[in-house]
Structure 1
Amino acid sequence: MSKRYACALYLSFLTLPVLAQTTPQPEPAPTAQPVTVEAADAVPATVVVEGRRPGPGVWKVSKGDHVMWVFGLYAPLPQKMEWDASRVERLVARSQEVLLPPGANVEVGFFRGLTLLPSMIGMEKNPDGARLQDLVPADAYAHWQVLKDKYIGKDDGIERDRPVFAADKLLHAGLKKNGLAPNNDVRGEIGKIASQNKVKLTPTILQLELDDPRRTLKEFKKTQMADLSCFTKTLDRLDTDIETMRVRANAWANGNIADIARLDFAARDEACGDALLNSDLAKTTPAFQNLRERIRANWMKMAEKSLANNTSTFALLMMKDLVGPANYLADLQAKGYTVESPR
């Protein structure tokens, strides 16, 4: 039952981890500018790398003799890639703390969660048994059928999913067929390294408090989300985005920061994140107000605390938080920290 509960929470807050990655922020000072290259209009077919790979280098944030090493996570990664963790292992071993990636989560407690299970069942389904064909334009549905046949095959149950969840399942099916794994467990490997070296693991997740979780869940189940944009952007850019992800996965595996920074597909992520935050329910629920800004501010507070308390900290951020004008480290540089990018 606990696994089912966790799955339901994941489905309902699927988009929260990406929310912190797309927030517009003031551009950093010129010395903090990461590598940026004009995005290519078309990306050639790419063979996904295999075997043992080093991954990217680390960013260095420092003030005085206190330093924070920042490692950029990325997903999806090549299914047959083995990550060489030797460089990271040395840095983690001599650190006092590892900061896990930011995001948001609803915490209701194990036993309270069990009592909420009946309310959670069916959260990914459309209200009133509606089908995708009833909710999306005819041309979008025709496109959906073509891509569904290509990547998923026969699955009548998915036709009753909310568009945002149907789009996510389609994307994951496409990744799998193209040799990419949504989770290559690099984060898990770093967690093991920290545990083996008795280094403290510190979550940076923003915990959201709901006044009445049961009511919120019931309202969510009967409220249609504003997720048409997420659905159509996924369909329109699926094949292109998968190829882009293959290029980025190779770039991450080989430690090529310039290639990682070059290709951008944040429009799909932002549209899917907005499907939750722009819903009528989210707009009237205090826990979801200014969520992007709060996720970012929460990470900043914890990063500064670790930098002050530790001579060496190792932090994990998604690669989207480390490249581009809205990168998290620009906020630290604006506060007087020295930021050095990997070469």
Structure 2
Amino acid sequence: MPTVLLCLLLVFSLGASAQVADGAASAAPAAPAEPAEQPEQPEQPAAADDGIVDMEALVVSGIQPGPGLWKVSRDGRVLWILGTVAPLPRRMQWMSDEVEGIVAASQEVLDPPSMAMRSGLGTFRSLLLVPSLLKARRNPDGLSLEESVPAEIYARWVPLKARYLGRNRGVERWRPLFAAQELYEAAIRRSGMTLDGVVAPVVERAAKRHRVPRTPVQLAIVVDDPKDAIREFNEGPLADTDCFERTLARIETDLDAMRERANAWALGDIAALRAAPYDEQYVVCIRAITETGLARRLGMENFRRQLGDLWLEAAEAALARNASTFASLPVSTLVREDGLLARLQARGYAVEEP
């Protein structure tokens, strides 16, 4: 998963869309590497007596069924929803026949809710802004990471960085949020998991093969002057210490829980998915950007609620016109007491778990 804020900045200029649901975010394309920032390739970290234990063997592999689907229905019309999680086991092959069959038999596929930031710039002019986007990772005041966060938090960063990022010196000049996400992605890889999407490519191929129309559910944010927006972000502060600390805590204590949740998804264990913790750092990290003056002016401070409302509207419309519709949403959204399924149920729809 590309770094959250870098993705948000990229869409200012490149017209990409960031999928944001229940505190997690992803976008494409990722920014190119910045050679000057990383003069040395990170070494492959060796085992160390730092109290961190890798338990990659606990992650399942091979062909796995994945979870069943939630069923939302009324008046003989059905919306099938596949719950998704991230990360997932890296060496897993998803046995997706059931989902492909439901997509083929449906009249519509609802894409996951996403936020699309757009500007009037063309592709060539947008690419000219990439160097400015890359600078957004750096602390605007020239401080190092060690100087940007409290000493006790930085002391926790040091052994984690040594284990998962090796001798990557460039990251020490990044803002805490960007540095934390770089570390998180490396820790996920070392733990036998992946943040790459598994469900979306399968659904897209099935919909294309069977000519099932896909309906985007997008909250459009228009950036009139992306160059000024990027400059404002580059020069402004970020309240991202909490994001940095929360990400370190997840790596220190929650890798086992993430493995268990990934295994539960792969094995189709809905009870385990419901019981799994979903205390993700993304809620805090995204808040660091949405509470800036720039984000408030763009109307982003309550975008998660807006995305939920848009998805509910699209789901009800699809249920009204189709005999069968397929959608996918994060499991955490589905099992929460105030999640989207609960809101559909409150509107009179029947909801059945897998």
Q: What TM-score, normalized to structure 1?
A: 0.85
Choose which of 254, 269, 275 in structure 1 pairs with 2:267. 254
- What is the CA-CA distance between 1:212 and the residue it aligns to? 2.7
Aligned to 1:86: 97
- What is the CA-CA distance between 1:17 and the residue it aligns to? 4.4
Local SS of the residue matching 2:136:
coil
- What is the CA-CA distance between 1:116 and the residue it aligns to? 3.8
Aligned to 2:75: 64
Q: Which runs of 5+ in 1 are unaligned?
A: 23-43
Local SS of the residue matching 2:232:
helix
| 1:140 and 2:126 aligned | no
| 1:51 and 2:62 aligned | yes
| Aligned 8 A contact 1:12 1:123 in 2 | no
- Which whole-Å deviations, capped at 9, do the CAs of 1:89-114 have from their partners, x for residues lacking one? 11111001111111312122543533
Letter in 2 for 1:321: T
Q: Tell me the distance in 2 between the aligned counterparts of 1:11 and 1:143.
A: 28
Q: Which runs of 5+ in 2 are unaligned?
A: 25-53
Local SS of the residue matching 2:78:
strand
Choose which of 237, 251, 271 in structure 2 pairs with 1:224. 237
| Aligned 8 A contact 1:20 1:293 in 2 | no
Letter in 1 for 2:147: D
- Which whole-Å deviations, capped at 9, do the CAs of 1:105-156 have from their partners, x for residues lacking one? 2122543533543542312222133221111001111111110001110111
Q: Tell me the distance in 2 between the aligned counterparts of 1:7 and 1:324.
A: 26
Aligned to 1:196: 209
Change (3 A) 1:20 1:104: farther
Letter in 2 for 1:114: L
Aligned to 1:41: none
Q: Tell me the distance in 1 between the aligned counterparts of 2:205 and 2:131.
A: 35
Letter in 2 for 1:292: R
| Aligned 8 A contact 1:140 1:232 in 2 | yes
| Aligned 8 A contact 2:5 2:178 in 1 | no
Local SS of the residue matching 1:214:
helix
Aligned to 1:175: 188
| Aligned 8 A contact 1:69 1:315 in 2 | yes
Letter in 2 for 1:336: G
| Aligned 8 A contact 1:164 1:227 in 2 | yes
Letter in 1 for 2:114: G
| Aligned 8 A contact 1:98 1:314 in 2 | yes
Q: Tell me the distance in 1 between the aligned counterparts of 2:252 and 2:215.
A: 37
* Percent identical: 39
Q: Tell me the distance in 1 between the aligned counterparts of 2:21 and 2:212.
A: 28
- Of structures 1 and 2, the one with the larger relative CO (CA 8 A, separation 6+) is 1
Aligned to 1:318: 330
- Which whole-Å deviations, capped at 9, do the CAs of 1:248-301 have from their partners, x for residues lacking one? 000000011111121224252221121112223323x13314212111111111
Q: Tell me the distance in 2 between the aligned counterparts of 1:228 and 1:21.
A: 17
Aligned CA-pair RMSD: 2.5
- Which whole-Å deviations, capped at 9, do the CAs of 1:188-245 have from their partners, x for residues lacking one? 1111111111111222121211233222111111112111001011112313221111
- What is the CA-CA distance between 1:187 and the residue it aligns to? 1.3
Choose which of 270, 292, 300 in structure 1 pairs with 2:304. 292
Q: Superposition pairs for residues 150-189 of structure 1, below 5 Å?
A: 150-189=163-202
Q: Tell me the distance in 2 between the aligned counterparts of 1:110 and 1:56.
A: 41
Q: Tell me the distance in 2 between the aligned counterparts of 1:201 and 1:121.
A: 33
- Which whole-Å deviations, capped at 9, do the CAs of 1:288-315 have from their partners, x for residues lacking one? 1421211111111111111112111000
| 1:97 and 2:123 aligned | no
Change (3 A) 1:53 1:204: same
Q: What TM-score, normalized to structure 2?
A: 0.82
Aligned to 1:37: none
